[in-house]
Amino acid sequence: MKRTRKKHSAAFKAKVAVAAIRGDRTVAELAGEFGVHPNQIHNWKKQLLDGAVSVRGRRAGGGSHQ
């Protein structure tokens, strides 16, 4: 029998990643609660943090500074 992959919404991924960043529960606890693999939570957390860094690094006005 072929397994189909679950498609999670961006909002769901962000919710899980933020919960992981908070750190009040372990990744294993979050994995059990949300029904995803712990490695996936680590990936979503990294993506969220990397995205936050790129947003913070942008300057107002959208152009490069000289």
Q: Model confidence over 17-36: pLDDT tens digits? A: 999 999 999 999 999 999 99
pLDDT of residue 30: 98
Structure tokens belonging to residue 27: 């990744």
Res 59 pLDDT > 80: no
**pTM for the predicted model, two decimal places:** 0.74
DSSP designation for 9: -
Q: How far is CA 16 from the centre of its chain?
A: 7
pLDDT of residue 63: 52
DSSP designation for 1: -
- Dihedral-angle region of residue 26 (phi above 0 means left; psi in -120 to 50 means alpha; beta otherwise): beta
Structure tokens belonging to residue 6: 């679950």
